[in-house]
Amino acid sequence: MDLDEQFSLQHLLFFDRQCRCCHKVKNLLDDFYLTRKDRGFLPSAYSYECKECTIERIKSNRKKNESPFDWQYPDW
């Protein structure tokens, strides 16, 4: 019996990862962003924060328009 017949590459790689924010286990390839495009598709190239949590974090950290004046271009 050959070892290649018993195991495939998919059995050796992790395809599920737990998000560090929501702590849910999600699919690595579908639910996590790549950190760098040039790092390939190894599991270590994906972030530890899921796409949903990343979007919420970006939306909550955006700078709010807190100007006391509602500035508009003057109508000459």
Q: pLDDT tens track of the chain, all 76 residues?
A: 555 555 455 544 568 999 999 999 999 989 999 888 787 777 788 899 999 999 999 999 887 766 666 667 766 6
* pTM (two decimals): 0.63
Q: Please state, in angstroms and rounded to a whole number, the distance separating the CA atoms of residues 53 and 21.
A: 7
* Distance, CA of 20 to CA of 48 (rounded, Å): 6
27: alpha, beta or left? (left if phi > 0; alpha if psi -120 to 50):
beta
Alpha-helical (H) ranges within 1-76 are 3-6, 9-12, 28-31, 51-61
Q: What is the rounded CA–CA span in Å between residue 75 and residue 41? A: 54
